[in-house]
Amino acid sequence: MDKLKQPKIKIVNLSKVFGRAPKKMLQLVQQGMDKTELLTKHRHVLALDNINMELQEHSIEVIMGLSGSGKSTLIRHINRLIAPTVGEVLVDGENICGMSATQLRRFRQKKTAMVFQNFALLPHRTVIDNISFGLQVQGQSEARIKRSSHYWLERVGLTGYEKHYPAQLSGGMQQRVGLARALACDADILMMDEAFSALDPLIRSDMQNILLELQTELKKTIVFITHDLDEALKIGDRIAILNQGKLIQQGTADDILLHPADDYVRRFVADVNRTGVLRARSIMDVKIQSNPDFSNTVVVKEDDTVREVLHSMLSADSYNALVTNQNGKAVGRIDSEMLAAAVNN
């Protein structure tokens, strides 16, 4: 994780209670009442409970948690479709909770774009007219709308389908349109609430790859909600885990697999095949002898997964790996016992 990155979005002491007297009910929470008691005794829902988190610029920030844990409520605070009961949401340092209606409209159009789980395409508009929809709302010129929408049509692999209607497309193709429409708006923040969850596994995997490929170039702040841990581990630069409206842990895939904050997170990650996720960097010993014995040692990269390290060691019939960084400098070492510990942990 690049420590120099600025937070694009900062969420400060944010709580949300749904019901008729949210502020009053929040006092009960602050005095120690939990979500269940608040619901059974007072018919109010504690959806978010004192969330503090930063979402980094140019990163895919995943939000995970069981159904009802507050993921959608949280993402809807970022474009203020929902206003907090208490707390602040800062985007580029500006508190969006203090914006006027006009400022808020401009903010939503310019800075945020959304991809929906059910695609939310307009059925009577063609593919190209769906892609250009956000640009029309923004009031862009005809020339710009045409250029941008054709560009994004091509980037999501739908050239030739511009005149088709959504009903003539498969689910995966419809979501490509949804993605192109969101990207055409050229917003800094892309919000995706279970955007790939309705797709078949293979199509879903394709969409993840398209998103990852585009992100290497676009470098947007992507807030990505998912139920699926494999998806989170594959695409997230960082993952935040919510439980009952509380932020339990936020970290890289390796942080979460190696140091789960509590039993809830531990249960989440229990069935993951770690070898394809953990990186050499996270399991290596950074102490390298000044005069290492390089016999029977393979060289691996710090970004290699444990599976790749294992493969390198097995193919060279070796028990030791020297870990190098991008510049080829040795930064650590891994032996077969360390590998076994990482896999069995």
Ligand X SMILES: Nc1ncnc2c1ncn2[C@@H]1O[C@H](COP(=O)(O)OP(=O)(O)OP(=O)(O)O)[C@@H](O)[C@H]1O
DSSP-H helix ranges across 156-289: 171-184, 201-218, 229-235, 253-258, 263-269, 280-283
Pick 20 or 105: Cβ nearer ligand X? 20
54, 209 contact by CB (below 8 A): no
Question: Which uninterrupted H or E stretch holds 35?
Answer: helix 35-42
Q: Does residue 72 interact with Mg ion by CB under 5 A?
A: yes
Q: Does residue 250 interact with ligand X by CB under 6 A?
A: no
| Joined tokens for residue 249 | 């842990």
Binding residue (CB under 6 A) for ligand X from 15, 56, 59, 72: 72
Q: Where are the beta strands (DSSP E) in 67-148?
A: 86-91, 94-95, 112-115
Tell me how far apart the alpha carbons of residues 294 and 314 are, in angstroms, rounded to a whole number: 16
Pick 28 or 331: Cβ nearer ligand X? 28
Binding residue (CB under 6 A) for ligand X from 2, 32, 40, 67: 67
Pick 63 or 323: Cβ nearer ligand X? 63
Which amino acid belongs to residue 282? S
Q: Are strands 189-193 and 221-225 parallel, antiparallel or unpaired?
A: parallel
Span from 70-78, 203-211, 250-258, 323-331 in contact with Mg ion (CB under 5 A): 70-78
Q: Does residue 40 interact with ligand X by CB under 6 A?
A: no
DSSP code, position 168: G
User: From the list Mg ion, ligand X, none, which binds 67 (C-beta under 5 to 8 Å, kind-based)?
Assistant: ligand X
Binding residue (CB under 6 A) for ligand X from 59, 73, 79, 175: 73
Q: What is the 3-state secondary structure (H, E, C) of 39-81?
A: HHHHCCEEEEEEEEEEEECCCEEEEECCCCCCHHHHHHHHCCC
Span from 49-57, 67-75, 86-94, 97-105 in contact with ligand X (CB under 6 A): 67-75
CA 208 to chain centre: 11
Residue 323's closest CA among 293, 302, 294? 302
Span from 71-79, 153-161, 312-320, 333-341 in contact with Mg ion (CB under 5 A): 71-79
Q: CB nearest Mg ion: which residue?
A: 72
User: From the list Mg ion, ligand X, none, which binds 45 (C-beta under 5 to 8 Å, kind-based)?
Assistant: ligand X
Q: Does residue 18 interact with ligand X by CB under 6 A?
A: yes
Binding residue (CB under 6 A) for ligand X from 25, 45, 127, 321: 45
Pick 114 or 283: Cβ nearer ligand X? 114
Q: Does residue 223 interact with ligand X by CB under 6 A?
A: no
Based on the number of CB atoms within 10 Å of its own CB, is 21 exposed (0-12), middle (13-18) or buried (19 or more)?
exposed
Span from 69-77, 168-176, 254-262, 335-343 in contact with ligand X (CB under 6 A): 69-77
Considering CB under 6 A, how many residues would be counted as binding ligand X? 11
- Binding residues (CB under 5 A) for Mg ion: these are 72
- Binding residues (CB under 6 A) for ligand X: these are 18, 45, 47, 65, 67-73
